Amino acid sequence: SEGVLCSFRWEGQGCIRDRPPPRPRVGRGGVLVVTGHRGLAGGYSSNAIRAAESLMDRLRQEGKEPVLFVVGRKGVGYYRFRNRPIEASWTGFSEQPTFDDARRIGETLIDAFLRGGDDDSVDAGADRVRGLDELHVVYTEFRSLMNQTPVSRIIGPMEVEQQPEGVQPAYEFEPKPEALLDALVPKYINTRIYAALLEASASESAARRRAMKSATDNAEEAIRQYTREMNSARQAGITQEISEIVGGANALAAAGSEV
Protein backbone atom coordinates (compact mmCIF):
# COMPACT_ATOMS: atom_id res chain seq x y z
CA SER A 1 0.00 0.00 0.00
CA GLU A 2 0.97 3.66 -0.24
CA GLY A 3 1.50 3.81 3.52
CA VAL A 4 3.95 0.93 3.42
CA LEU A 5 5.87 2.52 0.56
CA CYS A 6 6.00 5.90 2.32
CA SER A 7 7.24 4.21 5.49
CA PHE A 8 9.85 2.29 3.52
CA ARG A 9 11.08 5.44 1.82
CA TRP A 10 11.28 7.28 5.11
CA GLU A 11 12.95 4.44 7.03
CA GLY A 12 15.47 4.02 4.25
CA GLN A 13 16.25 7.69 3.70
CA GLY A 14 19.64 7.44 5.38
CA CYS A 15 20.83 4.63 3.20
CA ILE A 16 19.46 6.37 0.10
CA ARG A 17 21.72 9.27 0.91
CA ASP A 18 24.59 6.89 1.66
CA ARG A 19 24.28 4.96 -1.60
CA PRO A 20 26.50 6.17 -3.14
CA PRO A 21 28.34 7.94 -0.28
CA PRO A 22 27.53 11.64 0.25
CA ARG A 23 29.45 13.99 -2.03
CA PRO A 24 30.34 17.56 -1.13
CA ARG A 25 29.43 18.73 -4.61
CA VAL A 26 27.96 17.32 -7.79
CA GLY A 27 30.75 17.60 -10.32
CA ARG A 28 29.69 15.30 -13.12
CA GLY A 29 26.24 14.47 -14.47
CA GLY A 30 25.50 11.67 -16.88
CA VAL A 31 23.00 12.46 -19.65
CA LEU A 32 21.42 9.50 -21.45
CA VAL A 33 19.64 10.69 -24.60
CA VAL A 34 17.34 8.29 -26.46
CA THR A 35 17.06 8.85 -30.23
CA GLY A 36 15.88 6.78 -33.18
CA HIS A 37 17.70 4.17 -35.21
CA ARG A 38 16.20 5.23 -38.55
CA GLY A 39 15.01 8.41 -40.18
CA LEU A 40 11.67 9.25 -41.81
CA ALA A 41 10.24 10.20 -38.41
CA GLY A 42 9.97 13.94 -38.78
CA GLY A 43 11.72 15.86 -36.01
CA TYR A 44 11.66 12.98 -33.51
CA SER A 45 15.40 12.53 -33.03
CA SER A 46 16.34 16.18 -33.54
CA ASN A 47 13.84 17.27 -30.88
CA ALA A 48 15.30 14.78 -28.37
CA ILE A 49 18.82 15.99 -29.18
CA ARG A 50 17.71 19.59 -28.72
CA ALA A 51 16.29 18.75 -25.29
CA ALA A 52 19.56 17.01 -24.35
CA GLU A 53 21.57 20.03 -25.46
CA SER A 54 19.38 22.27 -23.31
CA LEU A 55 19.91 20.01 -20.29
CA MET A 56 23.68 19.90 -20.79
CA ASP A 57 23.80 23.70 -21.08
CA ARG A 58 21.95 23.95 -17.77
CA LEU A 59 24.36 21.52 -16.12
CA ARG A 60 27.31 23.60 -17.32
CA GLN A 61 25.71 26.74 -15.94
CA GLU A 62 25.42 24.96 -12.58
CA GLY A 63 29.14 24.17 -12.67
CA LYS A 64 28.68 20.50 -13.54
CA GLU A 65 30.38 18.52 -16.28
CA PRO A 66 27.88 16.75 -18.55
CA VAL A 67 28.86 13.26 -19.68
CA LEU A 68 26.99 12.06 -22.76
CA PHE A 69 25.48 8.60 -23.30
CA VAL A 70 23.49 7.96 -26.49
CA VAL A 71 20.89 5.40 -27.56
CA GLY A 72 20.08 5.24 -31.28
CA ARG A 73 22.04 5.56 -34.51
CA LYS A 74 20.67 9.02 -35.30
CA GLY A 75 22.00 10.49 -32.07
CA VAL A 76 25.35 8.74 -32.41
CA GLY A 77 25.72 10.06 -35.96
CA TYR A 78 24.78 13.59 -34.89
CA TYR A 79 27.39 13.85 -32.16
CA ARG A 80 30.16 12.01 -34.00
CA PHE A 81 29.71 14.23 -37.06
CA ARG A 82 30.32 17.23 -34.76
CA ASN A 83 33.24 15.52 -33.00
CA ARG A 84 31.43 15.59 -29.67
CA PRO A 85 32.68 13.06 -27.10
CA ILE A 86 30.32 10.15 -26.37
CA GLU A 87 31.09 8.19 -23.21
CA ALA A 88 29.09 5.13 -24.36
CA SER A 89 26.46 4.35 -26.98
CA TRP A 90 23.95 1.63 -27.81
CA THR A 91 22.22 1.09 -31.16
CA GLY A 92 19.96 -1.34 -32.98
CA PHE A 93 17.01 -1.70 -30.60
CA SER A 94 15.33 1.70 -30.30
CA GLU A 95 12.21 0.52 -32.17
CA GLN A 96 11.67 -2.68 -30.13
CA PRO A 97 13.57 -2.37 -26.84
CA THR A 98 13.65 -5.18 -24.30
CA PHE A 99 14.40 -5.18 -20.60
CA ASP A 100 17.75 -6.82 -21.38
CA ASP A 101 18.63 -3.75 -23.45
CA ALA A 102 17.73 -1.51 -20.52
CA ARG A 103 19.76 -3.72 -18.17
CA ARG A 104 22.85 -3.42 -20.39
CA ILE A 105 22.56 0.35 -20.31
CA GLY A 106 21.81 0.33 -16.59
CA GLU A 107 24.86 -1.78 -15.74
CA THR A 108 27.12 0.86 -17.25
CA LEU A 109 25.34 3.82 -15.67
CA ILE A 110 24.86 2.24 -12.23
CA ASP A 111 28.52 1.25 -12.01
CA ALA A 112 29.57 4.81 -12.88
CA PHE A 113 27.03 6.28 -10.46
CA LEU A 114 28.12 4.11 -7.53
CA ARG A 115 31.77 5.02 -8.08
CA GLY A 116 30.98 8.74 -7.99
CA GLY A 117 32.24 11.70 -9.96
CA ASP A 118 35.65 11.71 -8.25
CA ASP A 119 36.50 8.39 -9.91
CA ASP A 120 38.10 8.98 -13.32
CA SER A 121 39.49 5.47 -13.70
CA VAL A 122 38.80 3.76 -17.00
CA ASP A 123 41.44 1.06 -16.63
CA ALA A 124 39.01 -1.79 -16.04
CA GLY A 125 38.21 -2.23 -19.71
CA ALA A 126 36.63 -0.65 -22.74
CA ASP A 127 33.19 -0.70 -21.13
CA ARG A 128 34.31 1.18 -18.01
CA VAL A 129 33.26 4.82 -18.02
CA ARG A 130 34.04 7.75 -15.73
CA GLY A 131 32.24 8.00 -12.42
CA LEU A 132 29.08 10.09 -12.17
CA ASP A 133 27.33 12.08 -9.45
CA GLU A 134 23.95 12.36 -11.20
CA LEU A 135 22.00 10.38 -13.77
CA HIS A 136 19.63 12.09 -16.22
CA VAL A 137 17.65 10.54 -19.05
CA VAL A 138 16.29 12.50 -22.02
CA TYR A 139 13.61 10.80 -24.10
CA THR A 140 10.39 11.54 -25.95
CA GLU A 141 7.30 11.07 -23.83
CA PHE A 142 4.31 9.54 -25.62
CA ARG A 143 1.10 11.43 -24.86
CA SER A 144 -1.01 10.63 -27.91
CA LEU A 145 -0.62 9.71 -31.57
CA MET A 146 -0.50 13.42 -32.36
CA ASN A 147 1.51 14.63 -29.36
CA GLN A 148 4.96 13.47 -28.29
CA THR A 149 7.11 15.71 -26.10
CA PRO A 150 10.85 15.49 -25.32
CA VAL A 151 11.42 15.45 -21.54
CA SER A 152 14.37 15.09 -19.17
CA ARG A 153 14.16 13.17 -15.90
CA ILE A 154 16.67 12.66 -13.12
CA ILE A 155 16.90 9.01 -12.07
CA GLY A 156 19.76 9.29 -9.60
CA PRO A 157 20.29 10.14 -6.85
CA MET A 158 16.87 9.23 -5.49
CA GLU A 159 14.98 12.04 -3.81
CA VAL A 160 13.65 11.45 -0.30
CA GLU A 161 10.13 12.61 0.43
CA GLN A 162 9.32 14.28 3.72
CA GLN A 163 7.85 12.13 6.44
CA PRO A 164 4.04 12.16 6.30
CA GLU A 165 2.35 14.20 8.99
CA GLY A 166 0.39 12.61 11.79
CA VAL A 167 0.70 9.25 13.47
CA GLN A 168 1.86 6.57 11.08
CA PRO A 169 1.74 2.80 11.62
CA ALA A 170 5.06 1.17 12.40
CA TYR A 171 6.33 -1.36 9.90
CA GLU A 172 9.15 -3.82 10.30
CA PHE A 173 11.12 -4.73 7.21
CA GLU A 174 12.89 -8.01 6.65
CA PRO A 175 15.57 -7.69 5.55
CA LYS A 176 16.43 -4.19 6.74
CA PRO A 177 15.67 -1.16 4.52
CA GLU A 178 19.39 -0.81 3.78
CA ALA A 179 19.57 -4.31 2.30
CA LEU A 180 16.32 -3.82 0.43
CA LEU A 181 17.58 -0.59 -1.10
CA ASP A 182 20.83 -2.22 -2.16
CA ALA A 183 18.73 -4.70 -4.14
CA LEU A 184 16.00 -2.34 -5.30
CA VAL A 185 17.93 0.76 -6.40
CA PRO A 186 19.58 -0.96 -9.41
CA LYS A 187 16.21 -2.46 -10.37
CA TYR A 188 14.62 0.98 -9.97
CA ILE A 189 17.16 2.60 -12.30
CA ASN A 190 16.88 -0.23 -14.84
CA THR A 191 13.10 0.05 -14.77
CA ARG A 192 13.22 3.81 -15.27
CA ILE A 193 15.53 3.33 -18.25
CA TYR A 194 13.26 0.63 -19.69
CA ALA A 195 10.21 2.88 -19.26
CA ALA A 196 12.05 5.66 -21.10
CA LEU A 197 12.95 3.27 -23.94
CA LEU A 198 9.33 2.13 -24.26
CA GLU A 199 8.01 5.70 -24.25
CA ALA A 200 10.59 6.64 -26.87
CA SER A 201 9.74 3.62 -29.02
CA ALA A 202 6.03 4.46 -29.01
CA SER A 203 6.82 8.10 -29.74
CA GLU A 204 9.12 7.17 -32.62
CA SER A 205 6.44 4.93 -34.15
CA ALA A 206 3.80 7.66 -33.83
CA ALA A 207 6.14 10.30 -35.24
CA ARG A 208 7.00 8.06 -38.20
CA ARG A 209 3.32 7.33 -38.90
CA ARG A 210 2.54 11.03 -38.78
CA ALA A 211 5.48 11.87 -41.03
CA MET A 212 4.51 9.16 -43.53
CA LYS A 213 0.88 10.31 -43.52
CA SER A 214 2.01 13.87 -44.18
CA ALA A 215 4.27 12.66 -47.00
CA THR A 216 1.42 10.59 -48.47
CA ASP A 217 -0.99 13.53 -48.28
CA ASN A 218 1.56 15.80 -49.96
CA ALA A 219 2.18 13.20 -52.69
CA GLU A 220 -1.55 12.79 -53.34
CA GLU A 221 -1.98 16.56 -53.56
CA ALA A 222 0.96 16.75 -55.99
CA ILE A 223 -0.62 13.97 -58.08
CA ARG A 224 -3.92 15.88 -58.22
CA GLN A 225 -2.16 19.10 -59.18
CA TYR A 226 -0.03 17.51 -61.90
CA THR A 227 -3.06 15.59 -63.21
CA ARG A 228 -4.97 18.87 -63.59
CA GLU A 229 -1.98 20.45 -65.34
CA MET A 230 -1.64 17.43 -67.64
CA ASN A 231 -5.36 17.49 -68.50
CA SER A 232 -5.21 21.22 -69.13
CA ALA A 233 -2.18 20.84 -71.38
CA ARG A 234 -3.79 17.94 -73.26
CA GLN A 235 -7.04 19.89 -73.69
CA ALA A 236 -5.11 22.88 -74.92
CA GLY A 237 -3.26 20.68 -77.42
CA ILE A 238 -6.52 19.12 -78.68
CA THR A 239 -8.12 22.55 -79.00
CA GLN A 240 -5.10 23.80 -80.92
CA GLU A 241 -5.24 20.82 -83.30
CA ILE A 242 -8.98 21.29 -83.89
CA SER A 243 -8.43 24.98 -84.55
CA GLU A 244 -5.71 24.20 -87.07
CA ILE A 245 -7.90 21.59 -88.81
CA VAL A 246 -10.88 23.93 -88.95
CA GLY A 247 -8.67 26.74 -90.15
CA GLY A 248 -7.20 24.55 -92.88
CA ALA A 249 -10.65 23.35 -93.96
CA ASN A 250 -11.93 26.91 -94.15
CA ALA A 251 -8.91 27.92 -96.20
CA LEU A 252 -9.48 25.05 -98.63
CA ALA A 253 -13.17 25.88 -98.89
CA ALA A 254 -12.38 29.50 -99.63
CA ALA A 255 -9.85 28.54 -102.28
CA GLY A 256 -12.36 26.17 -103.95
CA SER A 257 -15.07 28.79 -104.10
CA GLU A 258 -12.71 31.21 -105.83
CA VAL A 259 -11.99 28.62 -108.53
Nearest one of 134, 152, 132 to 196, comparing CA atoms: 152
Residue type present at position 4? V
Question: How far apart are the C-alpha atoms of 184 and 197, rounded to whole Å?
Answer: 20
Question: How far apart are the C-alpha atoms of 30 and 124, rounded to whole Å?
Answer: 19
**Whole-number pLDDT of residue 41:** 83
Nearest one of 131, 180, 173 to 156, comparing CA atoms: 131
Residue type present at position 111? D
Of 19-23, 117-121, 151-155, minimum mean pLDDT range: 19-23
Question: How far apart are the C-alpha atoms of 198 and 40, rounded to whole Å?
Answer: 19
Assess whether pLDDT exceeds 50 at residue 1: no
Question: How far apart are the C-alpha atoms of 33 and 30, rounded to whole Å?
Answer: 10
Confidence of residue 50 (pLDDT cuts 50, 70, 90): very high
Confidence of residue 11 (pLDDT cuts 50, 70, 90): low
**Beta carbons of 75 and 35 less than 8 angstroms apart:** yes
Burial of 77 per CB tally in 10 Å (0-12, 13-18, 19+): middle
Round the average pLDDT of the chain to a whole number and report it: 80
Q: What is the mean pLDDT of residues 245-249?
A: 80
Determine the 3-state secondary structure of 170 from DSSP: coil
Assess whether pLDDT exceeds 80 at residue 80: yes
**Whole-number pLDDT of residue 14:** 45
Determine the 3-state secondary structure of 155 from DSSP: strand
**Whole-number pLDDT of residue 122:** 54
Highest mean pLDDT among 10-24, 187-201, 243-257: 187-201
**Beta carbons of 203 and 142 less than 8 angstroms apart:** yes
> Across the strands, what pairs with 207?
none
Of 40-54, 96-110, 131-145, 207-221, minimum mean pLDDT range: 207-221
Question: How far apart are the C-alpha atoms of 189 and 193, rounded to whole Å?
Answer: 6
Question: How far apart are the C-alpha atoms of 184 and 210, rounded to whole Å?
Answer: 38
Give the chain's domains with CATH numbers. Answer: 2-210 (3.40.1380.10)
Strand bridging mode 65-71 / 28-34:
parallel
Query: 139 or 133, which is more confident?
Result: 139
Confidence of residue 71 (pLDDT cuts 50, 70, 90): very high
Query: 120 or 212, which is more confident?
Result: 212
Assess whether pLDDT exceeds 60 at residue 100: yes
